[in-house]
Structure 1
Amino acid sequence: MGTDDVELLAHATLLNVNWTGGERVTVSDVAADPALAHYTALRPDRGDFGVVAEMSGRPVGVVWLLFLDATDPGYGYVADEIPELSVCVWPGYRGRGVGTLLLGEALQAARDRGLDRVSLSVEAGNPARRLYADMGFVDVDAASPGTMVVSLSR
């Protein structure tokens, strides 16, 4: 993934926010709301990276990690040196292991980059929470509700 993947990340962010199936936000809301728009800007210069899952040449899922800092924190912000992970699997491809594969690739890439921890944010009731727990993520009591972190040192 690179800096030209804004549209892909905007679509994934839209799906993530609307995970219940209802339309809580539109694509224009994602662009207009700074709390969501920063999820659409992959900046390799600060260490951001991501992976796209494709089937027949079309994206079916994406995982990306952003180094958002205290001046522009994400929903799963823990500390400046801990990237926040976002993952999205397109409807119709969920429940097939795509999310597990994407998370595994992203966490291995984070380890390869020497990172110690990765955070994320997940709303109560989101079934993805079970996947995150299975991958080793645990709740962070001192952060916003729904913030989870995984230790990469094993």
Structure 2
Amino acid sequence: MTTLLYRGKTYTTHHEPAPKACRELNYHQQHYNTCRAQLKRDHHPQLNYRGIQYIKDAPKSECASAEARLRNDRQAYLAVARDLAEAQFQRGDAELAKRLWEEVGDRGMDVDRITHLLYGCWFQDDAEAMREADEEFLAAHHA
């Protein structure tokens, strides 16, 4: 029996708490067990932001290789080029363009590749045209 002291009075439970019923669930081909104590950080081990994948709690060597992959990831370059095209050409927002160029530098991205995507492709909204311009740049500079 459990006792509780509250405002000077002692309270006792009259019955034991019901045991927790464990359930095995399958949802969208995922297996879940309700008895497993799951930490909040386990819910989303992989995150995506603007097409870039981030891995939480990865070992340092894996993080370094993941960052190298992210730098060379085509989707990251295309997303930054689209954002820069919108900031510079459509909005004319110098402050936003400056921040985006600083982000390119901070992430160690290839400035020539971004510049080629900005000026070598006429339509930044066309994913196929952007992909072709990126392949053209990579073929010319990594051949």
| TM-score normalised over the length of structure 2 | 0.27
Higher relative contact order (CA 8 A, sep 6+): 1
Structure with the bigger percentage of helix: 2
Bigger radius of gyration among the two: 2
Normalised by the length of structure 1, the TM-score is 0.25
